[in-house]
Amino acid sequence: MQYPQPIEKLIDSYMKLPGIGSKTATRLAFYTIDMNKDDVASFASALTAAKTQLHYCSICGNITDDDPCEICQDKSRDQSTILVVEQPKDVMSIDRTNDYHGLYHVLHGVLSPIEGKGPEDLNIESLIKRLQDHPEVKEVIVATNATPEGESTAQYLARLIKPAKIKVTRLAHGLAVGSDIEYADQMTLLKAVEGRTEL
């Protein structure tokens, strides 16, 4: 026996989201059906608005409803540093710490030969142009993930940027605060030893 067509379509729609299997999609579909009409309308409106009103900042590539984005417009931020991240969600994660007050640049992915992603598929060209147009930038902090693809992307960016006499640094990687050494994998321990600091 199959569900009625509207439910099947709703389940299929939820299954298109990452990490959502058929059981979770079915549960979400029935939860949606039990919602009141106003909440469903608001939910649908939020989905539509997110898709139609958001775009990428023409300067940094962050997701925004204004161009340039709020961060790029903020002249009180440190204009001498640019922190490079893989995705727009990484900008919010780092900015929430309230410790970094510079600018950002979003690559929209990493170099991945297996997935057929080369430099031309990332937001790298605009970063290089940005560095050429803004000589006040003294440091580029590469904050790609500690994956093989993230590491190769960081190395590639360093090779491109260093000839311009701009300092290129990498976020430290290693043991998480509160974690036990015995449970850490070999790569995490290696990065922790490499990134050690003086006490």
Structural domains in the chain, CATH included, are 5-53 (1.10.8.420), 77-170 (3.40.1360.10)
Q: Which two tokens stand for residue 127?
A: 């970063």
Q: Please report, as a single letter, which amino acid is at residue 185.
A: D
**Tokens 């898709």 label which residue?**
51
HSE, side-chain direction, 13 A CA sphere, residue 80: 2
Helices (H) and strands (E) in the chain, counts: 8, 6
The tokens describing 155, both together, are 């190395």
**pLDDT tens digits along 119-156:** 999 999 999 999 999 999 999 999 999 888 999 999 99
Write down the pLDDT at residue 115. 93
pLDDT band at 1 (very low <50, low <70, confident <90, very high): confident
What pLDDT is recorded for position 123? 97
Name the packing angle between helices 148-161 and 125-133 (round to 10°): 30
H or E element at residue 125: helix 125-133
pLDDT in tens, 20-56: 999 999 999 999 999 999 999 999 999 999 999 999 9
CB-count exposure of residue 85 (10 Å: 0-12, 13-18, 19+):
buried
Question: 87 and 106 in contact (C-beta within 8 Å)?
Answer: yes
The Cα–Cα gap between 180 and 100 comes to 27
Each residue's pLDDT tens digit, 172-187 = 877 777 777 777 778 7
Closest C-alpha to 111, from 147, 75, 139, 152: 152
**What per-residue confidence (pLDDT) applies to 198?**
63
pTM for the full predicted model: 0.84
Q: Which residue has the higher pLDDT, 99 or 192?
A: 99
